Chains A and B, each alone.
Chain A
């Protein structure tokens, strides 16, 4: 591959609480590429996502990122008292982006005036994913992106991911269920 990969993990090991979760992991994601991290509960899928995001340091090996990234995990990071629109606008301003495409991509426009604390689990998940779409970062790191999403939400996510890959982005997703990424490589842990 000629272009530099957006994300490269070389011989990475992860240790949490004194326990070795995995080691010797190599992974490289170029533009338009996606990888699915699979494996049983507790095997280190979320830790791998956090390693890739730079939130954890690897016990061994190297993590290299050549692009800005967007992270969607279990933590909503949306101020509960703000409306959905304003909560997403806060992050969009930090990203130098417009929140509207994200709202549209996940059908949240009618909910833009509703306070975040009133949202259901699935709606909150949509808002988290809307932030990823709106942010415009080339590298998406998704931790269990479909948990809590209904069929329509999953279809919207699949469409958003397909558009992102077609536009030269890359996706690393940790999941234990199909998320509609057919072209993805599988990274199996455990």
Chain B
């Protein structure tokens, strides 16, 4: 199991593909002031929401490298004939994917917050939200990657599948970042994320199995 997680990390970092989501995230943070103007109060009010949108879209980027290459190369078959359950493979992929997606995104949120003139307490709530929300986003990415593996129009379809399912993460994540007084957003964000993480190994595992027939 740890070998499988390490393999996911190696695949993510050796090709440099783990750098794409945080770079994309930073790029959005750079472009956003150009789009809405350099007005600091406006940026600090809307910036956290823009960064959550960026996180959502960044979660889409790894969709085509999570499952499909392993399917075509026969890695999933070789794991299966060794008696390793698809759910276990999916769990290892989820762990490996989150480790190469969540922390880099949280790191990229620091310069992004500076670019958008976010106040320190908003940044703190954004980071808290990312800790709670990125596992759910990683889980969604994995589920969609497993569902679309082997299809030709993966890119467009993945976006159509993933973004609507990510709405709860977006609402509660942006709600947590924007809230002045504590509300239930943090708990609801964590709950939505946990639900996705709990479903992902089974959904992705079943999709991998079904993809063989």
The answer to whether A and B come from one shared complex is yes
Q: Is there a chain A Cβ closer than 8 Å to B187's Cβ?
A: no
Majority secondary structure, B binding face: helix
The residue on A at minimum CB distance from B72 is A75
Q: Could you mark each residue 200-213 of chain B with 1 if its beta carbon is under 8 Å from any beta carbon of chain A, else 0?
A: 00000000000011
- The interface-forming segment of A89-97, A147-155, A163-171 is A89-97
Task: Give how many A residues have a beta carbon under 8 Å from the other chain's beta carbons.
Answer: 24
Complex Cα distance, B14 from A71, in Å, reads 28
Does B151 sit at the interface, judged by CB under 8 A? Answer: no
Given contacts A56-B212, A57-B213, contact A90 B74 (CB under 8 A): no
Contacts of A73 in B (CB 8 A): 74, 77
Q: How far is the CB of A141 from chain B (nearest CB, A)?
A: 8
With A and B bound together, what is the CA distance between A81 and B79 in angstroms?
A: 19
Please state if A55 and B212 are interface contacts (CB–CB under 8 Å).
yes
Contact B81 A81 (CB under 8 A): no
Mark contacts of B76-95 with chain A using CB atoms, 8 A cut-off: 1 yes-contact digit, 0 otherwise. Answer: 01111111100000000000
**A67-91 vs B, Cβ < 8 Å mask (1 yes, 0 no):** 0111101111111010000000011
Q: Which of B51-87 contact A (CB under 8 A)?
A: 72-75, 77-84
CB-contact partner of B73 in A57, A75, A90, under 8 A: A75
CA distance A81 to B80 in the complex (A): 22
Contact with B along A53-70 (1 / 0, CB 8 A): 111110000000000111
